[in-house]
Structure 1
Amino acid sequence: MLLHEITLENVGAYKGKQRINLEVREGRPIILIGGLNGCGKTTLLDAIQHTLYGSRARCSGRGTRSYDAYLRETINREASPKDARITLRFSTTVEGEQRHYRVVRAWQVRGKSVREFLNVFINGELDLVVSESWADYIEDLLPLEVASLFFFDGEKIESLADPERAAPVIESAVHSLLGVNTVEQLRTDLLALQRRQKVSDEDQQALEQIKLIEQQISEADQACADSLQCVASAQASLDVAEAALVVAEDAFATKGGNLYQRRAELEAEKKLLEEQLQGMQDNLANHVAAGPLPLLLLSSQLEQIKKQAEREEAAAQAGQVLETLATRDQQLLDFLNQLVGSEPTAEAEKYLVADRLQRAAEADTPRFLELSRSAAQQLASLDQILDKEHSNALALVDEVTRLRERLNTVERQLAAVPDEQMILSLIKQLEAARLQVAGLKADLGRAREAHATADNDRKQLVTSREHAYKKRASGLAKAEHVARIITYADRVRTTLQQFGDALLRRHINALEVAVLDSFTRLMRKSGLVQDLRIDTDKFTLTLIGADGEALDPTRLSAGERQLLAVSLLWGLARVAGNRLPTVIDTPLGRLDSRHRQNLVERYFPQAGDQVLLLSTDEEIDEYLLSRLKPAIAQTYTLVHDDQTFTTTIEHGYWWQSGAPHVA
């Protein structure tokens, strides 16, 4: 398939009729179109897809808007009347014959209504049948899923480096682009053949029922597709809103919003801490300090008092027994005189007299205290009381210190609370972001429920159809020729299944080699990836690092992931034979100079038989233009008038036709 020409009339920034010749030559497959940001490069990419696929086109400028709203806003603001038109000429081979197509898609706004027209010319002749069934016809020429692999925004394909996101792309490409689905279609056709054999003219009522179910299934398929698109749209809006919420939360936290929200809690805690601290201090002052604890300051004096009390106690005891001892000593001396004589008695008398004199001296100890027995006992237990009071006081002091430190922390946090007027706008933004996220989550939930309902209805219809076929088959399978057809069809379907599996493995192996070779050509780090594998069941792509282990794609830089995604698309195109045009918008975003040069020298000239590059002056610059020049067939520059906000298309590229349009 080759694109020959595209004409835009009052589309986007293109006022009036603007035409681009897209013819290429042998060995020069590249059409280079330059334009600054906002000049209309993406509009060109969207225009090609819009012309081919209409409301199903995955135009980057549409977003979540309805198709009528998109058509209305796509018309140039200066156009009068509000009419727009896109004409795309291309050629392709159909059933071995070269056919030339001219697809004209036009729309006009009249009041509140938008009308769209589509005419398809084949080999110069208007074909009304193809025009009416174009949506189905183009799926045979270039399926929408396949087109997304060849018409892409260079900055948005990085997601294909994610194995989960790349899997459906690889599956779709292998089945649609490499012809694997043809085998499956043959198996489906054989199944349809089997089912037709089960349908007899003898049961017209059952036949009508089956037709009705088939129609209902077709309607259910459309309902499922519409609801799935609603889910995707709601998910995209929710992702944007959640990202905005994260930004709002970060801004709120940076400005002290969390402390502001805790202000009442902090103030209450401060008041409680102050009350607890005051209570502790009152306890220390009124109870602990007012008790016996201050006596610890008189430790040496208390020790002297204790010793004096002991001495006075001993003196009192000595005074009490002194007279009794004198009487006892005289009786003892008289008894000794009777037993042993006067000389030993004199010695004993001297001892007893000396003992009484010593006791008398002790009894003469000065008495300053004259404590009672209970007071003396209290004085003896004073050390134990003071130890206990001292331990209690230390515990109270530690608690006071802890409370004071916590109070200081709370006071610092309160001091950091921002002013209400300063934080008010951030609070409003945060609440608005949260409300938006909550609303979008609810919308997403409803969209998912609607899709689940539609999918369940479809499954029930499919089950009903199978039951109807089985019921029909029970009566018609008696005929021998019908049974033979069914038997042989089953055998062929089994053979086709085996053939399809073998074909799939062959294509997957070729694709692995092509993608790895493409990635190796484009990468600056030659030893980063040694191998890659594609699962034939889940179609997930696994990178193998230099150590032979699986390499997580998140370890690659943004530029390397973009190169991996490009390599995947390039490998698919190479395995498919480069038979489709490639249109790349902003092809060199996020890439360093080395990787840009690799793309320019190794990929673009070999990306296909026709390659449209939509570039800014900072992507394909003067140096890269010189490297790309041998492969360029034609160049154009999109010139934007900032006064009228319109774009015109001029021949030549920057550094070829001068530099008046370089920012």
Structure 2
Amino acid sequence: MHFISLDLENIGVYRGTHHFLLEPLNGISEPKRTMTIIYGRNGSGKSTLFRSIQLSLFGRLALGDRVSQKQYHDYLIRYLTDQSTPSTPSSISGSVTARFQFAKSGEKTVVTVRRDWQLESGNLKEDLSVLVNGQAPDILDEDSRVKLLQETIYEYIPPELADICFFDTEQLDSLSSPESHNKRLGFVMRRFLGLDIIARLSNDIERYLDECMRAEGGTRENASLRNRMLDVQKLKDHLNTELESVLVERLQLSERKNKAEILLKRSERQLVSQGGTYAEKRQFLQEQHNRLESDHQARQNALIDLCNDLLPFSLVPELLHDLESTLKREADQKRKDLAADLFKDTCRSLVRTFEDESLWNGLNVHAETRDELLRRLSSAVNSYPLNGLRESTVIHDITDIERQRITEWIRIAATETPNKVERLCDDLRSLDQMIVKIRIEMDKAPDDVLLAHVYQEIHEAQAEVSDLILEESKIQETIGTLQYRISETDRELRIMRDKLIKLQSAEHNLDLASRSLLVLKTYEDALVRTKIQDIEEKIVRSFNTLCHKSRLLSRITIDLDDYSLSLYSTNDKKIFLSDLSAGERQLYVISLLWALRQVSEKDIPLFVDTPVAKLDELHGWQLMHDFFPRVSNQVILFAHTKEMDNGLLQEAAFYTARRYKLDFDDTRKRTQVQCEESPVSGLLIR
């Protein structure tokens, strides 16, 4: 599947009609040019274009599951309003048209989706039209027309694939932040795996059960239980309403906090420009200096302890070797002495046995013959050479346990102690260098008096941000409390529902519905465990491809309960997401996106807003060469001009079908679009 074109009419800064050709170029003698790059400065309409494609496909759902109809209309009105006019006219109209091609079993289908909006006297009307190969679908029920048309679009681009089709910096920030990662990953995974659909099916079945139970008569206990369920359901509805209100309040507070943080960063940049960075870091550097001095003293003490222990013996390895050989030889000699004594005792016992009269009873042996045999046997035993077993004298008369302890000391002195000394010396040299560097940094700090006014501005901005964070924390606590109470009401409803089902177990439809809930839960568990393992393996493979460093990953595990992430290096050392650098965390998010697209096995385009804004030059280059050309048969990038200024435009030219440059005319308050076509041959876009 790939997009052919996008048309905008009077949307945001795009006044009039604008046509964007998005189709990739599939040359015969050249590599496929799968990328379309749309770039410009802030305010030139990149995000508007990015969002317009989603609006054409998903309508209100493009803004999120919890967006109300009023919020959706307010959002559209802002986009439809012409910024060049001082007042809003009584009638405003706009539209977005997307054309894409879908191939299945060798047959190609071209789908055209158009959304029109008309604002008259404050009332906004939306119209959706869909053409499949130029023909409108047959719809008999006109009342359900919009719903059926939307379902037609979902047949080609299901909403659960939106997160791996449309990717922006908000997703990158939330997934790369250790604080918000788990929540965002859970949302993406549940939506991608279709768990939200399973949840909706489960809720539908539960509502059906509730309706059946309310409709059915029953015993006094059943009636009481149903009344209680109605009360709890009312409480749940009230809590949900209150939660929606608090969520809106949190959104407004977040906008205020973002503005305050922008002011704070502006003051901090002013501080840096006047050399305030060093002054700001003085206390931190002093603490770090003290910490390094403490580490330095600790290693000196450890080296002294080794000197008082086995280190002197490590300086005479030849004597250690001789002592170890002597102890081994003496141990062998002791075993030989023991063997000789045992042999003598055995021989004497044998002679005594032959001298016993009872041995000869019943044997026709003459007494003289027997005496001669005994004499010869005694002579042979006494003349057996045992002196060969006593080769040397034992000097160290010690037990085996003592010998083992001494041998272990010899081993430690010969192997471990030199290594410890070497490591300690390396650490001391490294600490000395670090202490010198920190002292140099501490000497660079300017006079605090010169920066007093900047510090005052920063202090005030920090205080405002802190107050907003505290207020946001309180709102978050309220949200958590409401969510907990809602979950408790859900749990109470489930318990009462289960009890009521047992009381009415004779009803066949209730029994089937309850079993359906169990089947859905079983299916959900099996689906998650199967897909998660595949996703984990593909994240590792993708991350190792993108991250050209020695510290590669061997495996990743995703906790199915809270969607927390555990990474393991090649030596199976556990790495937390917070241990990675900012660039590595962003590459992990890109690897997650790549893995989800591979697991989905869907040939869908990838739209990326500000793709390399927060990556350094090396990682941006890696994405252009290793990720975007391979992730999809069609990639549309919405980039800031600064992202492309470092040569990435030329680097990406080999894979680029066309480029669009967006220039915002501040006088006319609208954007001009310039198309930069790719030549048929050659590697550069001219």
TM-score range, shorter chain: 0.5 to 0.7
The aligned runs of 1:240-255 (5 Å cut-off) are 241=260
1:19 maps to 19
Q: CA deviation at 1:450?
A: 5.6
Structure 2 CA distance for partners of 1:513 and 1:220, relative to 1, 3 Å: same
The aligned runs of 1:451-462 (5 Å cut-off) are 451=479, 454-455=482-483, 458-459=486-487, 462=490
- For the 8 Å contact 1:84–1:108, the answer to whether it is kept is yes
Q: State the Cα deviation string for residues 403-441 of structure 1 (Å, max 9, x = none).
A: xxxxxxxxxxxxx9969xx96797577457635753x35
2:250 maps to 231
- For the 8 Å contact 2:160–2:192, the answer to whether it is kept is no
Structure 2 CA distance for partners of 1:501 and 1:639, relative to 1, 3 Å: same
- For the 8 Å contact 2:268–2:458, the answer to whether it is kept is no
1:129 paired to 2:172: no
TM-score, length of structure 2 as denominator length: 0.57
Q: Hey, what's the Cα distance between the residues in 1 that align with 2:83 and 2:197? A: 46
- Aligned residue identity for 1:23: E
Structure 2 CA distance for partners of 1:215 and 1:129, relative to 1, 3 Å: farther
Q: CA deviation at 1:649?
A: 2.2
Pick from 70, 75, 88: which aligns with 2:97?
Answer: 88
Structure 2 CA distance for partners of 1:573 and 1:214, relative to 1, 3 Å: farther
Pick from 169, 178, 189: which aligns with 1:174?
Answer: 189
Q: Hey, what's the Cα distance between the residues in 1 that align with 2:644 and 2:465? A: 41
Q: Hey, what's the Cα distance between the residues in 2 that align with 1:596 and 1:478? A: 64
3-state DSSP of counterpart to 1:175: helix
Q: CA deviation at 1:584?
A: 0.9
- Aligned residue identity for 2:98: R
1:118 paired to 2:106: no
1:264 maps to none
Q: CA deviation at 1:12?
A: 2.8
Structure 2 CA distance for partners of 1:212 and 1:240, relative to 1, 3 Å: same
Pick from 579, 583, 588: which aligns with 1:564?
Answer: 588
3-state DSSP of counterpart to 1:19: strand
1:530 paired to 2:554: yes
Q: Hey, what's the Cα distance between the residues in 2 that align with 1:7 and 1:87? A: 6
2:610 maps to 586
Q: State the Cα deviation string for residues 58-90 of structure 1 (Å, max 9, x = none).
A: 59xx9xx97676555433312574735231325
- For the 8 Å contact 1:151–1:583, the answer to whether it is kept is yes
3-state DSSP of counterpart to 2:668: coil
Q: Hey, what's the Cα distance between the residues in 1 that align with 2:506 and 2:39? A: 69
Q: CA deviation at 1:221?
A: 3.9
Q: CA deviation at 1:547?
A: 3.3
- For the 8 Å contact 1:32–1:634, the answer to whether it is kept is yes
Q: CA deviation at 1:447?
A: 3.7
Structure 2 CA distance for partners of 1:606 and 1:428, relative to 1, 3 Å: closer
Q: CA deviation at 1:574?
A: 1.2
3-state DSSP of counterpart to 2:125: strand
Q: Hey, what's the Cα distance between the residues in 2 that align with 1:528 and 1:620? A: 28
Pick from 472, 476, 480: which aligns with 2:504?
Answer: 476
Structure 2 CA distance for partners of 1:580 and 1:225, relative to 1, 3 Å: farther
- Aligned residue identity for 1:434: A
- For the 8 Å contact 2:114–2:128, the answer to whether it is kept is yes
Identity of aligned residues (%): 23
Pairs aligned (count) = 487
- For the 8 Å contact 2:102–2:156, the answer to whether it is kept is no
1:102 paired to 2:113: yes
The aligned runs of 1:210-609 (5 Å cut-off) are 221=240, 223-235=242-254, 237-238=256-257, 241=260, 427=456, 430-431=459-460, 434=463, 437-438=466-467, 440=468, 443-444=471-472, 447-448=475-476, 451=479, 454-455=482-483, 458-459=486-487, 462=490, 465-466=493-494, 469=497, 473=501, 476-479=504-507, 481=508, 485=512, 489-490=514-515, 493-494=517-518, 496-609=520-633
1:147 paired to 2:152: no
Q: Hey, what's the Cα distance between the residues in 1 that align with 2:170 and 2:16? A: 30
- For the 8 Å contact 2:209–2:510, the answer to whether it is kept is no
Q: Hey, what's the Cα distance between the residues in 1 that align with 2:660 and 2:269? A: 45
Q: State the Cα deviation string for residues 97-146 of structure 1 (Å, max 9, x = none).
A: 97945241525485xx4x33221223336965353799999889867775
Structure 2 CA distance for partners of 1:621 and 1:451, relative to 1, 3 Å: closer
Structure 2 runs not aligned, ≥5 long: 27-31, 277-446
Structure whose CA Rg is larger: 1
Structure 2 CA distance for partners of 1:463 and 1:170, relative to 1, 3 Å: closer
Q: CA deviation at 1:524?
A: 2.1
Structure 2 CA distance for partners of 1:589 and 1:502, relative to 1, 3 Å: same
Q: Hey, what's the Cα distance between the residues in 2 that align with 1:35 and 1:148? A: 24
2:675 maps to 651
Q: CA deviation at 1:567?
A: 1.0
- For the 8 Å contact 1:20–1:649, the answer to whether it is kept is no
- Aligned residue identity for 2:504: L
1:160 paired to 2:175: yes
Q: State the Cα deviation string for residues 344-393 of structure 1 (Å, max 9, x = none).
A: xxxxxxxxxxxxxxxxxxxxxxxxxxxxxxxxxxxxxxxxxxxxxxxxxx
- For the 8 Å contact 1:155–1:590, the answer to whether it is kept is no
- Aligned residue identity for 2:628: F
1:281 maps to none
Q: State the Cα deviation string for residues 624-648 of structure 1 (Å, max 9, x = none).
A: 5565456444432223335434212
Structure 2 CA distance for partners of 1:102 and 1:496, relative to 1, 3 Å: closer
Q: Hey, what's the Cα distance between the residues in 1 that align with 2:23 and 2:71? A: 34
TM-score, length of structure 1 as denominator length: 0.59
3-state DSSP of counterpart to 2:563: coil
Q: State the Cα deviation string for residues 289-343 of structure 1 (Å, max 9, x = none).
A: xxxxxxxxxxxxxxxxxxxxxxxxxxxxxxxxxxxxxxxxxxxxxxxxxxxxxxx
Structure 2 CA distance for partners of 1:179 and 1:624, relative to 1, 3 Å: same
3-state DSSP of counterpart to 2:113: strand
3-state DSSP of counterpart to 1:548: coil
The aligned runs of 1:31-42 (5 Å cut-off) are 31-42=36-47
Structure 2 CA distance for partners of 1:94 and 1:31, relative to 1, 3 Å: closer
Structure 2 CA distance for partners of 1:18 and 1:528, relative to 1, 3 Å: same
Structure 2 CA distance for partners of 1:232 and 1:626, relative to 1, 3 Å: same
Q: Hey, what's the Cα distance between the residues in 2 that align with 1:211 and 1:188? A: 16
Q: Hey, what's the Cα distance between the residues in 1 that align with 2:464 and 2:250? A: 19
Structure 2 CA distance for partners of 1:226 and 1:141, relative to 1, 3 Å: farther
Structure 2 CA distance for partners of 1:4 and 1:202, relative to 1, 3 Å: farther
- For the 8 Å contact 1:531–1:544, the answer to whether it is kept is yes
3-state DSSP of counterpart to 1:652: strand
Structure 2 CA distance for partners of 1:173 and 1:609, relative to 1, 3 Å: farther
- Aligned residue identity for 2:634: Q
Q: CA deviation at 1:613?
A: 0.9
**Pairwise CA RMSD of aligned residues?**
5.1
1:313 maps to none
- For the 8 Å contact 2:37–2:660, the answer to whether it is kept is yes
- For the 8 Å contact 1:103–1:118, the answer to whether it is kept is no
- For the 8 Å contact 2:5–2:21, the answer to whether it is kept is yes
Structure 1 runs not aligned, ≥5 long: 257-415
Structure 2 CA distance for partners of 1:517 and 1:159, relative to 1, 3 Å: same
3-state DSSP of counterpart to 1:39: coil
